[in-house]
Structure 1
Amino acid sequence: MNFLLLLVGIGAVIVYLSVIIVQQGTVAVITVFGKYARVLRPGLNFKIPFIEVIYRRISIQNRSVELAFQAITADQANVNFKAMLVYSVLNQEEETIKNVAFKFIDEASFMQALIRTIEGSIRSFVATKRQSEILALRSEIIEHVKAQLDTLLESWGYHLTDLQLNDIAFDEVIMRSMAQVVASSNLKAAAENEGQALLITKTKAAEAEGNAIQISAEAEKKASQLRGQGVALFREEVARGMAESAKVMTEAKLDASLILFSIWTEAIKHFAEKGQGNVIFLDGSTEGMDKTMKQLLAVEKMNTNADSSGIITPPPAPGRR
């Protein structure tokens, strides 16, 4: 009975040691006496107890790691980088799993090599660039690192899924100087914009003032022309009326000086009614009236000649004293 129980116990131990459960997202590498034998896939697996040994369980899922390091530019400026790296096993092929399992002595050694390789790649790139160029070269830095790491990581059995530079910062002194440069550039741009706006405003105001002056001058010119034409027409009509009156007086055998006397009295009446205290001197002498009469007769003679020749000539305005 005791022997039977012993056999059952030994069998249970052997079964327990033979059953291997591999979790989803991982594979198990089996060795026999220290030599690679095979790969166990996710699920229920069996191995030979005491002969086959699980050397290592390898995750085939994506893994991430954060990096923080410093680099120096070509003009001796310190640049602080914070990056996030996402990587995974290249594939589940047997050769790839063997590389992952046996290239490095352990996971810590692989991580150290990976981090130092990325830092060295970024530092070598930054060392060829100036401080003012770094912030604009984020994508170029990432492409440079990926180009250098892809082949190397594949030989290790891994694949670089993503690399992100989350933060690129300079020393505090450099950051302050950069902020001053940006602020001065903004002030310069604002001053230039303000100057351009002021120039445009003054130019438009000058154009508007010039247009207004031109319009006013044109209007004044037109008004002056109209006033001159009105005065000329008035004088012409007065001269024609007086000439006709003198002609009628002559035909009636009356003294034409009665016209001047009538005009004289009408003028004195108008001055008396409309005057505002101004002093006006009028030539009421016989010689003055005689001169005016001669001028009217000359106008009459010119009109008579114009009627006979068919050419109408505007009479001259009578002289004034």
Structure 2
Amino acid sequence: MGTGEITTIIIIFIILVIIFTSFVSVKQGTIVVITVFGKYRRILTPGLNFKVPFIENVYSKISIQNRSVELEFQAVTFDQANVYFKAMLLYSVLDQQEETIKNVAFKFVDERNLMQALIRTVEGSIRAFVATKRQSEVLILRRDIVEHVKEQLDVILEGWGYHLQDLQLNDITFDDVIMKSMSQVVASNNLKAAAENEGQALLITKTKAAEAEGNAIKISAQAEREAAQLRGQGIALFREEVARGMTVAAKEMAGANMDTSVILFTMWTESIKHFSENSKGNVIFLDGSTDQMQHTLKEMMALNLLHTDNVKK
């Protein structure tokens, strides 16, 4: 092989190297930072890009996709209780602006230093917040903790070229002794609530029973009153009918020139018969003397005359 042929091969090889080093393929979701002799030059977006061979150099490839990291750390509350957190941090590059990409590329030496600073910043923010709260408040302040961390980190991360997408506190636990005491408190509160509910239910039951009994008494009294009224009306009607019958009988006997005292004597004997038939006692004491009988007949005749006068009026 001659010298000319070797030279030609070398030239072709150099041309191929130049061609291959002049183009850069950038994947989707990635931004490439180009430097010239160590100084920032420009950025390359996804697709096929041209760069000056041997002069422009690919400094770093930055992913603009969301990234996540899991955290486990400990904090201490205001009342000196240990709290253990398990969290997931979701973050991403703030945007694709040139200044943002420059901050991402040059703020930290490498990805490891970025992650260390990010994790320590999140942990410090949560620890500072928890240190002002009591152990009993931490579990109910999960959302407040997340909002506090986001508020603190947004400004810091923006200076680094990043944005905190989300922070999830997946698990918040305490020492075993505290967890047992919290369980006992919850159990006692549940028992207290159950007792209060049972007491309220018993009170309601007794109240309803008392109301029902009162209503029953009212209904019974009303029924008794109406029954008494009806009995009184019946007795009044009975007496009115008896008086009317006696008046008619007395008129008929007077027309026949008969003594009307016979009617009173008949009523007296009928009354004695009724007493003997319906009385619960075994003995009926009556004054059957002639004087007493005449006295009784006179009283009944006087009542009859009084009723007759009232009817005539």
Q: Which range moved further: 183-192 or 6-15? A: 6-15
What TM-score do the two structures reach when normalised by structure 1? 0.83
Contact 2:276–2:284 under 8 Å retained in 1: no
Q: C-alpha deviations, 1:117-174, integer Å up to 9, x for none?
A: 1110111011111111112222221221112111211111112222222222222222
What TM-score do the two structures reach when normalised by structure 2? 0.84
User: 2:70 is matched with which residue?
Assistant: 66
Q: C-alpha deviations, 1:156-197, integer Å up to 9, x for none?
A: 111222222222222222222222212221221221122112
User: 1:29 is matched with which residue?
Assistant: 33
- Percentage identity across paired residues of the two chains: 69
Q: C-alpha deviations, 1:28-78, integer Å up to 9, x for none?
A: 222222222222222222333333322211112111111111111111111
- Deviation, structure 1 residue 240: 6.3
User: 2:89 is matched with which residue?
Assistant: 85
Instruction: Give 2:149's aligned amino acid.
Output: V
Question: Residues 289 and 235 (structure 1 numbering): CA distance in 2 closer, same or farther, change over 3 Å?
Answer: farther
Rounded to whole Å, the distance in 2 between the matches of 1:7 and 1:59 is 37
| CA RMSD in angstroms, aligned pairs only | 3.1
Instruction: Give 1:164's aligned amino acid.
Output: Q
- Deviation, structure 1 residue 304: 5.1
**The one of 128, 134, 155 aligned to 2:132:** 128
For structure 1, the residue ranges without an aligned partner over 5 or more in a row are: 311-321
SS for the counterpart of 1:104 is coil
User: 2:100 is matched with which residue?
Assistant: 96
**The one of 259, 282, 294 aligned to 1:290:** 294
Question: Residues 157 and 290 (structure 1 numbering): CA distance in 2 closer, same or farther, change over 3 Å?
Answer: same
SS for the counterpart of 2:141 is helix
Instruction: Give 2:84's aligned amino acid.
Output: N
Contact 2:261–2:301 under 8 Å retained in 1: no
Rounded to whole Å, the distance in 2 between the matches of 1:10 and 1:307 is 153
**The one of 188, 193, 197 aligned to 2:197:** 193
SS for the counterpart of 2:80 is coil
Rounded to whole Å, the distance in 1 between the matches of 2:243 and 2:201 is 62
User: 2:155 is matched with which residue?
Assistant: 151
For structure 2, the residue ranges without an aligned partner over 5 or more in a row are: none
User: 1:203 is matched with which residue?
Assistant: 207
Contact 1:242–1:296 under 8 Å retained in 2: no
User: 2:45 is matched with which residue?
Assistant: 41
